[in-house]
Structure 1
Amino acid sequence: MRIAFVAPLVAPLCDATSRGPHVIVGDLARALLARGHDVMVFCAQGSFLSDVPTAPIVIDASVSSAFQELYWHVRHWGPDVIAQHAFEVDAIALCDGVPIVNTLHANPTIDEVVDAVRACAWPAVTVSDDSQRRWRGAGVVRAVTIRNGIPEMDWERRAPDPIALIAGRIAPEKGTAAAIRAARRAGLEPVLVGEVYDRGYFAREVVPLLDRAHVFRTLPRRRVAALMQRAAVTLVPVEWDEPFGLVAAEAQVAGCPVAGYARGALPEVVPPEGGVLVTPGDEDALADAIPAARSLDRIMVRESARDRFDMDTMVDAYEELLAETATGLAHVREAAA
């Protein structure tokens, strides 16, 4: 197949990023390219992905005009199908004439986006059953779940260091400040890895807690994986309904147990053999969950996660759905259902 990927234009793609949709675009494009498909990733100017061809788009006026230009280039390239991963209205609504699969990396919180997805005649993908239920509740009945896969990583059995990893974007919805406080209460040194999304929150809530904490704005993915292998626990006290929870999944594949809040899809992503989730907002319970998570068998944490987040399983599902969409079979199956 000739597959055009549409990436979010909010930031350039790169191999060192904490943005979940960007990570999945790179992983999936790379895997489908390895399977012999013709792949091109249309993305923001300044993007670079190792081993993946990209077509950068200049964003010089508005997001709407950028997506108009992007789709002009997509049609000129002539794909059989589009794998669309952005969450803007125009990314979904401007795709007339080419079969498309929209992957919904967020929940249905923006009315205009919900309307665009509902009006689109092509299939949609959600990244968890929890997110699928929310989208179906919003009237998107064509949504199917394909959980994110995690590529294999180098791994060695080792005793963890007394650190708590807090990875991902630094923003109120990720609970960064609560994670730092819980780590210290549990006697662990917090290590932060991620981009600052909300500078006001960072200055007001996080900076006063950073005494002796290690902070890395961005790191290559292999270094984040190495930190996960070293960490005693990865903390995810999210303050929103997480559509998936890529950091929690990657941590478990690295053999690192997870402690966090049971919100959104996290109970799917973090079963009892992978970590301990507690009542959202309860920092006392979060601090108590850390030693419980640390008591888990790290080999079992890793083996369970490798099975649940198998990369080939994700790629197989996308490959089949993209092929069905390119040939029109997805419409036939939908009509039969």
Structure 2
Amino acid sequence: MRILFVNWATVPVFAYGGTERVIWDLALELKKRGHEIAFLTPPGSTCDFGEVLAFDTEQDLLPQIPSGYDITHFQFQPKFDLDRAFGRPYLMTEHGNYNKNPTRPLNCNFVSADHAQRHRSEVYVPNGLNWDAYGPVNLSAPRENFHFLGKAEWRAKNVKGAIQVAKKAGVDIDILGGDRFNFRRGFRITLTRRAHFFGMVGGAQKLSALNASRGLIFPMRWHEPFGLAVIESLYFGCPVFSTPYGALPELVGREFGFLSDSCGELARAVRDLRFDRKKLHDYARETYSSQKMAQGYLRLYEKILSGRTLHEKPPIWPKLSKKLLPWKA
């Protein structure tokens, strides 16, 4: 099968870039299974296992999409109508929450059961990662601090709440994805010595930090479509202390962490840390792998190539409020 991935950002990714990391690992796994891979992105992408094509972001995208592929896999909803104007087999993955188009295309999938349900759909493929790229995990080494992982400048990620939990629990927290001084969304300075800031980390620095962490404190205040930070942390044997929003209840059962919208309850759970790190690691590796993700996408590709659509009616945008979800500090 010849598969064309279309994305608005370049690949590969070296720091945050959750969506790009997922599609890169999906493409690599499909290549291992004998499929031909190509990427169509803005200029700047490179790939040693597939073809790389570039489109001009200042021009209409539709005439720039080459033919000759069995299926075209969009990682965003283009401005043109995929069901009326494209005329070729396609799949579109919705990765986020705030796509303002009133409906989604008929061949659209989502990244968790909750994400799909909020769009009145049952079609989803959970994200997965190529764990072989993450290096060795040391589950027996002593660990000192907890961590937060994500773009701390996004208020919905609630780094302030993560620091509150750490302070109340009497533990230190490493902020992977933020700075002590933040000028981007209004001036913010964090004075507590319990919080240690490392900026936007990636590569070996990020993996080393996760290998040394006792757990993820991640009290987000929005409906997380999936949660790559969660499965990355679980892979390194880190239990997850988060809020019960979006896909988190799907990812984090009682054996793998604790969910609450209360700072006090999360702090008590952090203090009472009793989890089997190997069980956490095995769960992430077996459940959220790029291999399982590829199997899910191949099933969708085959259904589409047989002439069927994934939905009888277009999935509907849920019109989520951008107000922060409840957090009891």
Match of 1:12, SS state, is coil
Aligned 1:1-337 pairs, distance under 5 A: 1-7=1-7, 9=8, 11-49=9-47, 51-59=49-57, 61=58, 65=59, 68-69=60-61, 71-76=62-67, 78-87=68-77, 89-90=79-80, 96-107=86-97, 109-112=98-101, 114-115=102-103, 117=104, 120-121=105-106, 123-136=107-120, 141=121, 143-152=122-131, 153=134, 154-170=136-152, 171-194=154-177, 200=183, 204-205=187-188, 207-209=189-191, 213-220=196-203, 222-279=204-261, 282-292=262-272, 294-328=273-307, 330-331=308-309
Closer/same/farther in 2, CA of residues 332 and 26 from structure 1, 3 Å limit = closer
Higher relative contact order (CA 8 A, sep 6+): 2
Closer/same/farther in 2, CA of residues 258 and 210 from structure 1, 3 Å limit = same
Distance in 1 between residues matched to 2:85 and 2:210, nearest whole Å: 39
Unaligned 5+ runs, structure 2 = 314-329
Percentage of identical aligned residues: 25
Distance in 1 between residues matched to 2:142 and 2:85, nearest whole Å: 48
Instruction: Looking at secondary structure, tell me which structure has more helix per residue.
Output: 1
Closer/same/farther in 2, CA of residues 90 and 300 from structure 1, 3 Å limit = same
Provide the TM-score with structure 2 as the length reference.
0.83
Match of 1:321, SS state, is helix
C-alpha contact (below 8 Å) 1:4/1:39 kept by paired residues: yes
C-alpha contact (below 8 Å) 1:166/1:193 kept by paired residues: yes
Shift of 1:127: 0.9
C-alpha contact (below 8 Å) 2:16/2:200 kept by paired residues: no
Unaligned 5+ runs, structure 1 = none
- Supply the RMSD in Å over aligned alpha carbons: 2.8
Shift of 1:301: 1.2
Distance in 2 between residues matched to 1:162 and 1:44, nearest whole Å: 42
How many correspondences in the alignment?
307
What do residues 11-54 of structure 1 show as CA deviations (whole Å, max 9, x unaligned)?
A: 43333232321111111111111211111111232334564543
What do residues 223-256 of structure 1 show as CA deviations (whole Å, max 9, x unaligned)?
A: 4233222101112111101111111011112211
Match of 1:331, SS state, is coil
Distance in 2 between residues matched to 1:3 and 1:33, nearest whole Å: 10
Match of 1:54, SS state, is strand
Shift of 1:172: 0.4
Distance in 2 between residues matched to 1:5 and 1:133, nearest whole Å: 25
Distance in 2 between residues matched to 1:295 and 1:90, nearest whole Å: 51
What do residues 164-205 of structure 1 show as CA deviations (whole Å, max 9, x unaligned)?
A: 221122210111121123223333332222378xx6566534
Closer/same/farther in 2, CA of residues 202 and 284 from structure 1, 3 Å limit = farther
Closer/same/farther in 2, CA of residues 333 and 174 from structure 1, 3 Å limit = closer
Shift of 1:327: 3.6
